[in-house]
Amino acid sequence: MHTFDKLYINGQWIKPCGTGSIDVIDSGSEEVMGRVPEGNAADAELAIDAARAAFDGWAATPAAERAALLQKVADNLKARTDELAAIICGEVGMPIKLARMIQVGSPVYNWGAYAKLAASFEFEQEVGNSLVVREPVGVVAAITPWNYPLNQITLKVAPALAAGCTVVLKPSEVAPLDAFVLAEAIHDAGLPAGVFNLVSGYGPVVGEVLASHPSVDMVSFTGSTRAGKRVAELAAASVKRVALELGGKSASVILDDADFAAAVKGTVGACFANAGQTCSAHTRMLVPAARYDEARDLTKKVAETYAPGDPRNETTRLGALASAAQQQRVQQYIAKGIEEGAELVTGGTGRPEGLGKGFFVKPTVFGRVHPKATVAQEEIFGPVLSILTYDDEDEAVRIANDSPYGLGGAVWAGSDERAMRVARRIRTGQVDINGGNWNMAAPFGGYKQSGNGRENGVYGLEEYLEYKSMQLKVAKPA
């Protein structure tokens, strides 16, 4: 059991204002694996006050000093890799081997990357007779999700601190334990009191205070589009800056001259990673109508290699979903796909065989899915792939763009040049070309209802900076 009974506010672990607590459930066993405080509005206000009071001092701290402290955080997290991997494996359900590499490895890398960026970024530039200065936006409220909990926290907190902002973090109540370990790592690194604050709790209570409070200068939110709209609505009253990373229904477009075996394998992998609990998952696979049977058979074969199993087993490839609510939601979508007449290629409703406990679902593939079907339009957030067909390249682009979202995607073709030509026509924030690798320095974010703003690399740092122009008087020639 990982039990935390205090919140981290103003550089100290303090008793929360209320008496409530939140149980954290192990996704693979359905047992209680930890407990955190149920913070309330008063706790959120204390944290905001602490961040506000600490801001001037932290903003004035030389960037090189901020960089050194961020590197200490990275080192402290790395030293606790195995502990964090076990925690996140339980919270989220990602297999332990992948949790160690992705759920912990990525945050460690990103803390280090923002340490380097803080030290090297040009915060001032001369433009004509002006000195253009980049200054921290102020107090930042970071509201984060449960699917990649520590990394989504990192991609907000690390660049905000690098920029000179102070932060109040509200992690997801489904996966908050890793945030408490991060708070310990930050405390041990020696950051000044009030620069980072942690308040666990529920969105309608803590989140609403953070999004609406006049002393918060910016709110950065990752989560559902529905909740993101509420955050933006609350923030509008005080004209805060808002960064939103929301839902996705990303298309993987396989063109007629692509390597079908590689394309199908890559698409299934990008759909089933983290049991489909990825906002940019490639959940729509578009294939030429004339080659549907070939694509379906390949997809069935690949999908059935993803056998669900105990996330704590080093050989497990597909773990559990994060919660009972998520398990139920995905089951309902699978039932809806069958009801609406899609061809069930593999998987279906019900528990996977031999798994009586844990939040598991069968990895599922639907074929001949209509572009307007529920499973082709709505974000499912589980290991469910829809195969759609098209007649020509123009129709493929039209179907790919027929979504309220625009976060990720892929194009597979016989040449990178053709794939890139098609990719330029797809309205989405990221497109993988013929299986291109993830790049942690490239901007991540979306078009349309996938949100606004970008995370990762220098683009993520710039989200937390304001421009100030200081015009200098030009001397008149003698």
- Flag whether pLDDT at 475 surpasses 90: no
Say if CB 324 and CB 368 are below 8 A apart. no
Q: How far apart are CA 370 and CA 83, in angstroms?
A: 44
Local confidence band at 307 (pLDDT 50, 70, 90 cut-offs)? very high
Q: Picking from 268-277, 336-345, 380-389, 467-476, which range would have the lowest pLDDT averaged per residue?
A: 467-476
pLDDT over 70 for what percent of the chain? Answer: 100
**pLDDT tens-digit readout, 196-227:** 999 999 999 999 999 999 999 999 999 999 99
- Flag whether pLDDT at 477 surpasses 90: no
Q: What's the pLDDT at 474?
A: 87
Contact partners, residue 208, CB within 8 Å, separation at least 6: 230, 234
Measure Cα distances from 396 to 10, 370, 383, 411, 425 in Å.
53, 13, 23, 10, 10
Burial zone of 30 (CB within 10 Å; 0-12 exposed, 13-18 middle, 19+ buried): middle
Length of the chain: 478
How many other CB atoms sit within 10 Å of the CB of residue 238? 14
Q: What's the pLDDT at 476?
A: 78
Where do the domains of the chain lie, and which CATH numbers do they carry?
A: 2-246+451-468 (3.40.605.10), 250-439 (3.40.309.10)
Q: What's the pLDDT at 399?
A: 98
Q: How far apart are CA 56 and CA 67, in angstroms?
A: 17
Say if CB 390 and CB 416 are below 8 A apart. no
**pLDDT tens-digit readout, 405-447:** 999 999 999 999 999 999 999 999 999 999 999 999 999 999 9
**pLDDT tens-digit readout, 75-96:** 999 999 999 999 999 999 999 9
DSSP summary character for residue 207: I
Task: Decide the pairing of beta strands 130-136 and 218-222.
Answer: unpaired
Say if CB 31 and CB 323 are below 8 A apart. no
Q: How far apart are CA 75 and CA 3, in angstroms?
A: 24
Burial zone of 41 (CB within 10 Å; 0-12 exposed, 13-18 middle, 19+ buried): middle
**pLDDT tens-digit readout, 321-356:** 999 999 999 999 999 999 999 999 999 999 999 999
User: Which H or E element spans position 75?
Assistant: helix 63-79
Q: What's the pLDDT at 478?
A: 72
Say if CB 161 and CB 195 are below 8 A apart. yes
Say if CB 28 and CB 86 are below 8 A apart. no
Say if CB 51 and CB 109 are below 8 A apart. no
Mean pLDDT, the chain, whole residue set: 97
Torsion angle of the four alpha carbons 352, 354, 359, 365, in this order, in degrees rounded to the nearest 10: -10
Catalytic residue set: 245, 279
Local confidence band at 139 (pLDDT 50, 70, 90 cut-offs)? very high
Q: What's the pLDDT at 6?
A: 98
CA 188 to chain centre: 26
